[in-house]
Structure 1
C-alpha cells in the first residue's frame, strides 16, 4: 500500500459534551463515506472513560448495522465480563443496544494461557477478514484513540517492547507488568482516519510533548502518523494551550 502524506486536523472544543458531539459527527461521516465507497465500514474502538459517551450516542443512531464491523485497538487481558474490559464497556454502552450482527463484532481474544498466542490468533483473524497477503497491513476506516497522562496510546506504553514492533499487526503490550493485546503503531498508521479524543487538564503535559517539534520518542502517541487523516479532538481543559 502506498503511504500518502498525512493530513492533520486539530480542533479544541469548548467542553467534553462538545467534544463528544463533534466526534460523533466525524465518525458518522467517515463510516457513511466508507460504506458508500467500499460497501462496509471498519472501526476500531478505544477504551477508557472519554469515548464511552460517544458509544452511547452511536447506540441512538439509525445506521446500516449489517455493513459496520467493530474491532478494538487494544484490550486488557481480562474476560469480556470483567469491569476493566474494553470490549465489555463498548458492548454495554453501544453494541448490545443495536441490531449489529454478532459476526460483525471482532473482539480481541483474551483466553489463551500465553498472551502472545492470543496476539497471534487475533492477527490471523485480521488477515483473514481483510484478505491480506503476508507482510501487508489493512487500512481501517476509523481507529479511535486516546492518550494517557504518560503519552501512551492504545496499549503502546513508554519504554516497552511493543513500541519496537514494526512488522506485525498485533503485539503484546505491558502496563506495570500486566499484559495487554494491542494494535501496533504500524497497523494504526495504515488507517484512513486515526481519531484521538482527549479530555481533561491532566493531559496537557503529555500533549505539550506530543505536539512539540522535537523528536521525543518517550511519548508513544507521537508514533501515530497515519497514511490518511490524523484527527485530534480535545476539550478546552486539555487543549487550552494549543488553542492560542
Structure 2
C-alpha cells in the first residue's frame, strides 16, 4: 500500500513523521518483543532524530540500524552514524548492544559489506540467501533520485543476492542495503523536502519513469510505502496522487 502525503513545510513533515514512528513503535511492541528500524542519513532526518530524543521510548526494545553509510570512520563529520548519535542516540540512555552500525574499518568496503551482511543474518536469524524483515526503514531521496546509497546507473542497483553491497557516488564507496532487503520491510518511509526534489519526484511517480535513472522508484516494499513530502517537494504532483 502506497501513501503520499504533502505537508505544509519541513517542520510539519518532521512532526508528522515523529508521530507516525512513535505510534509504530508502540503498536509493534504490543505484538512482538522488539522493534527494528534502519535510519537514513542526510540533513532532512536530523531534526526528526532530535525530536525522538525528547520522547519517552522503550529503548531496550528498539534496535537501530542504518540503510547506508559513507565509507568513513565512525567519528568522521560525514558519518551517518555520527549524525544519528549526536542528534538522538547519545542524548538518551540507548543500550549499546541495541545499536548496529555498518562497519567501515577494514579499508576494504566489500569486506565490510560482507561482514555486515553476516551480522544482519545472525541478528535476524535468517539463512544465507534469505532476507530479514525490518519493522521500519527510513529513506531520503537526493535530487538525482537516489536513495540509501543506490545511485543512478550503478552496479549496486542490480545486486539481488545480498543484504548489503557497496554503493558508489562519483568514485567514492558507500555501504548500502540492497533493494531486496529494503523491499522486504513492513514499512518504508521516505522523508523528502525541498523544491530541488520536484523533477526527480515527477519521474518517480510517472508510469514511464526509469528505475535505473531514478533508483527510488524501485522501492516497492511488501508492506507499507509512505512518502512524506514538504510542499516544496510535492507541489507539482497531481492532486489525485496525494
Q: TM-score range by the shorter chain?
A: over 0.9
1:103 is paired with a residue whose SS is helix
CA distance in 2, matches of 1:89, 1:113: 22
| SS of alignment partner, residue 174 of structure 2 | strand
Q: 1:237 maps to what in 2?
A: 232
* Corresponding residue SS for 1:33: helix
Could you say which residue in structure 2 is the equivalent of 1:225? 220
Residue-by-residue CA offset, 1:75-114 (whole Å, 9 max, x unaligned): 0000111110000000000000111100000000000121
- Report the Cα distance in structure 1 between the residues aligned to 2:48 and 2:117, rounded to whole angstroms: 27
Q: After alignment, is 212-221 or 63-72 more displaced?
A: 212-221
Matched ranges for 1:164-243 at <5 A: 164-217=158-211, 218-242=213-237
Q: How many residues align?
A: 238
Cα distance in 2 for partners of 1:95, 1:108 equals 15
Residue equivalent to 1:21: 15
Instruction: Out of 182-191 and 215-224, give the one that drifted further.
Output: 215-224
Superposed counterparts of 1:121-140, under 5 Å: 121-140=115-134
Deviation, 1:134, is: 2.1
Query: TM-score by structure 1 length?
Result: 0.96
Matched, 1:56 2:54: no
Moved over 3 A (4+): none
Structure 2 CA distance, aligned partners of 1:187 and 1:124?
Answer: 13
Alignment partners' CA distance in 1, 2:218 and 2:161: 15
Alignment of 1:81-96 (within 5 A): 81-96=75-90
Q: State which of 123, 127, 136 in structure 2 corresponds to 1:142.
A: 136
TM-score after normalising by structure 2: 0.97
The match for 2:39 is: 45
SS at match of 1:163: helix
Which 5+ residue runs of structure 1 have no aligned equivalent?
Answer: 1-6
